[in-house]
Structure 1
Amino acid sequence: MGTHLLLDFFGTIVDYSPSRTDQGYPESHALLRRWGADLSRPDFLTAWSAVCAEFDRRSDADDSEFSMTEVGTEFLARVLGEPAAPADVETFVVTYLREWNSAVRVPAGMPDLLADLAATRRLAVVTNTHRADLVPGHLAAMGVAHLVDAVVTSVEVGWRKPHPAIYAAALDTLGVPASAAVFVGDTFVADYAGPEAVGIRAFLIDATARHPVPAERRLDSLFDLPGRLAPMTEVSGRRSSSSGSGR
């Protein structure tokens, strides 16, 4: 069994809402109104969803990734009627993500679980995200950034899971072959079929048994993982606790 754990983040390490509208986003809407956008909040959310959906369709075609800056730039140009300054795009993105993050929850005991896993295995987070600093920020807030040797994001690689490039980037960052790694996540194609296709053993969080994975590879949550792993062996050359934060 591999001595390196590649972990999905959203839905695996933290609970979250994938919706882009459920949080209501009153601060983001107020910001647009101050900038002259004549939109009700429902109209704002509808317009935002439509622009995001356009970017999603492009990504779905080839697994390429887009950034929050790109989608924010396009959205503001449409609702304001002219291109927004880069500083205003950044202000909007930061405001929107602050509201989106309000739905992210850390399961009780998760930091301790990650510490236990990191005691004998190197950890990397491999995540689809439109903002490079989002997941490192969450790991820091959880107090676990020092446990993670690498954070590999789709927006920095340019390709999202299940594109082979993002798994290759994670393996290259750790300097290990696929046979030395185990992947764990909650999305069948991105976190199970994708890793398995490139030779990484995978476990899927699939409490309702919706997907065709062997029973021994199915987890109710990440908390089931230690019991499924082979006896853990101390990783040789383990890095110091200060060397692995959010990169």
Structure 2
Amino acid sequence: MAVSFDLFGTLVAADRPAEPWNAVAESLAERGVGVPNDWESAYRSAHREYDRGREAPLPEHVRLALASRGVEVTAATAREAVLAAFDGPVSQREGARDALAAVADRGPVGICSNCSVPGLVERTLDRTDLAADAVVTSVDCGWRKPHPQIFEKTADALDLPLSALVHVGDDARTDGGADRAGARSVLLADASLPTVATRLREDRL
């Protein structure tokens, strides 16, 4: 058996910008980008279509939003600005480290996280001093939970069949998709992280 964990809301608590368009605008301006006056409208508008279940990378969206107003930026600048805008305060949730340790005592542990900001999951793990054998994010694999593809890629990264994967998360709609994909979900509404750790050590998960 392998266990994967959702990150935001499950292992860590994170402060997110209340007005993300303003956070991104400030970050762009710090990098010398002229942000259009109607930036909120540009940011909140769709600029391309994505197949159902596909992740829409936020740096790409920001580049397209700027381009729609005649402002061109490099992919690197957009990526750096977006990461800085969302790299806010984070903290471990109660039982996070113990739950990861309980998994590591018996098998591989992974992170399976929806996140449209490249590098943010890895940055968050580093800042909260949490580690896993494999990290699979929607922005890197291209698919968002609850799509089966992200769970399949997580199982592949842990070198086990999907049927051997247990996914722990806080969202019944997204994390619960593990059940429909052929894995098994454990939701924090039913078992807290300390409970998950105890059940793992007692082989009852």
TM over 0.5: yes
Letter in 2 for 1:77: A
- Asked whether the equivalents of residues 17 and 86 of structure 2 are also in contact (C-alpha less than 8 Å), the reply is no
Letter in 1 for 2:86: L
Query: Which residue of structure 2 aligns with residue 203 of structure 1?
Result: 186
Identity of paired residues, percent? 29
Task: State how far apart, in whole Å, the 1-side matches of 2:134 and 2:72 are.
Answer: 35
Q: 1:22 to 1:87 in 2, by over 3 A?
A: closer
Query: Which residue of structure 2 aligns with residue 69 of structure 1?
Result: 59
TM-score (norm 2): 0.82
Q: CA deviation at 1:129?
A: 1.1
Query: Which residue of structure 1 aligns with residue 140 of structure 2?
Result: 156
Q: 1:150 to 1:20 in 2, by over 3 A?
A: farther
2:41 is equivalent to residue 47 of structure 1: yes
Q: How many residues align?
A: 204
Q: What is the CA deviation profile of residues 46-102 of structure 1, one whole-angstrom value per residue up to 9, with x for unaligned ones?
A: 336513xx37x955x6111121221121122245x232233432342233223xx23
Helix, strand or coil at the partner of 1:190 = coil
Helix, strand or coil at the partner of 1:182 = strand
**Residue 187 of structure 1, aligned match among 168, 171, 174:** 171
Helix, strand or coil at the partner of 1:191 = coil
Taking only aligned residues, the RMSD between alpha carbons, in angstroms, comes to 3.0
Q: Which entry has the higher C-alpha Rg, 1 or 2?
A: 1
**Gaps in structure 2 of 5+ consecutive residues:** none
Task: State how far apart, in whole Å, the 1-side matches of 2:25 and 2:71 are.
Answer: 21
Query: Which residue of structure 2 aligns with residue 240 of structure 1?
Result: none
- Asked whether the equivalents of residues 162 and 191 of structure 1 are also in contact (C-alpha less than 8 Å), the reply is yes
TM-score (norm 1): 0.69
- Asked whether the equivalents of residues 187 and 204 of structure 1 are also in contact (C-alpha less than 8 Å), the reply is yes
| Residue range with higher mean Cα deviation, 27-36 or 8-17 | 27-36
Helix, strand or coil at the partner of 1:125 = strand
What pairs with 1:87-236 in structure 2 (closer than 5 Å)?
A: 87-98=76-87, 101-102=88-89, 104-145=90-131, 148-192=132-176, 194-206=177-189, 218-219=190-191, 221-229=192-200, 231-232=202-203
Letter in 1 for 2:153: A
